[in-house]
Amino acid sequence: MGLKLGEMLSLQFVLSPKRRREQLAALREFAEVFRNINRCVCIDIYTNYHFTARYGEHAGVAELIDVELLDALRMVHFAREEGRKLTDTEKRDVFQAHFLHEQTHVVGPRIEAAIVEFPWPLVRAIAMRPLVKFAFCPHRFWFRNFASREDRIERRTAGLRYRSAGWLGAG
């Protein structure tokens, strides 16, 4: 939808075909950053999980992994070793630790860099106010400023509040 809107807004450059092509290329690159963020989040989760499974008890590991995330992953590994399932509360805690970690270390820095590099202020402003549907919630949420870590956390929390059942529950 954003790329189609960009195509329409690019008509403001109809008298400058080169500028129009440049703006549309920049928009495609900007959109690719967001696709890549999802890939990076998956890589980060996978890497942290396996790294902590192997080295989670070594001295100094807390210098490499956020303490909250490290504690959550240790809980997962201990439960696996004990052959027990995590409680809903524990699952929520692990999800929360991953989410806050990725917002600080993966999502936030990539969005900030993309914003600085995107040369189309009007489309950038529109792109930072997306309508998002989370996989775990049937409702859609408008973001006031997707570049804001606090806004991303607030909208995700609102999405969880609407979740009626399952391991994420309310909260």
Q: Give the bridge partners for 140, in sequence order.
A: 133
Among all chains, which residue has been given the structure tokens 């859609």? Answer: 140
Q: Binning pLDDT at 50, 70 and 90, where does residue 169 land?
A: very low
Residue 64 · residue 99 · CB < 8 Å: no
Q: Give the bridge partners for 133, in sequence order.
A: 140
Distance (Å) of CA 13 to CA 18, 20, 80? 9, 5, 58
pLDDT of residue 148: 87
- Using the predicted structure, report yes or no on whether residue 83 has a pLDDT greater than 90: yes
pLDDT tens digits, one per residue of 9-36: 999 999 999 999 999 999 999 989 988 9
In whole angstroms, give the CA distance from residue 125 to residue 106: 21
